Amino acid sequence: MPGMTKNKNYLARHNMEITGYAGNLPVTRQKPGPNISLGKVKFLFPNTDNIYLHDTPAKSLFGETKRAFSHGCIR
């Protein structure tokens, strides 16, 4: 929200869009494209917990010993 408040082009700059509202807050998503944070592939599984696996555009981080850069690509 702070970025959207400060810059009216924030969503466009980050390839995002508003898909609805939850109360007063916008629900946003990042549009598909080559540079999105989830990478090129997303595996959806039938489940009630909205759990899925995804790729990453920052594959070089897998060579690091620290793993705090991601949540393991499982959401």
Per-residue pLDDT of 23-45, as tens digits, reads: 999 999 989 877 787 777 888 88
Q: Which of 54, 60, 69, 72 is catalytic?
A: 54
53-67 residue pLDDT tens: 887 777 777 787 876
pLDDT band at 22 (very low <50, low <70, confident <90, very high): very high
Phi, psi dihedrals of residue 49, rounded to the nearest 5° = -105, 5
Q: Which amino acid belongs to residue 60?
A: S
- Contacting residues for 7 by C-beta, under 8 A, at least 6 apart: 13
Q: Residues 59, 40: one domain?
A: yes
Q: Residues 43, 21: one domain?
A: no
Q: Report in angstroms the alpha-carbon separations of 7 from 10, 33, 36.
A: 5, 22, 20
Q: Residues 23, 41: one domain?
A: no
The whole domain housing 67 covers: 34-75
Q: Residues 38, 27: one domain?
A: no
How many domains are there within the chain?
2
The pairing of beta strand 42-44 with beta strand 25-30: unpaired
Q: Residues 24, 43: one domain?
A: no
The pairing of beta strand 25-30 with beta strand 16-22: antiparallel
Q: Residues 66, 40: one domain?
A: yes
Q: Residues 39, 9: one domain?
A: no
Checking if the pLDDT of 18 tops 60, the result is yes
54 is annotated as an active-site residue = yes
27 is annotated as an active-site residue = no
Q: Which of 11, 16, 38, 73 is catalytic?
A: 73
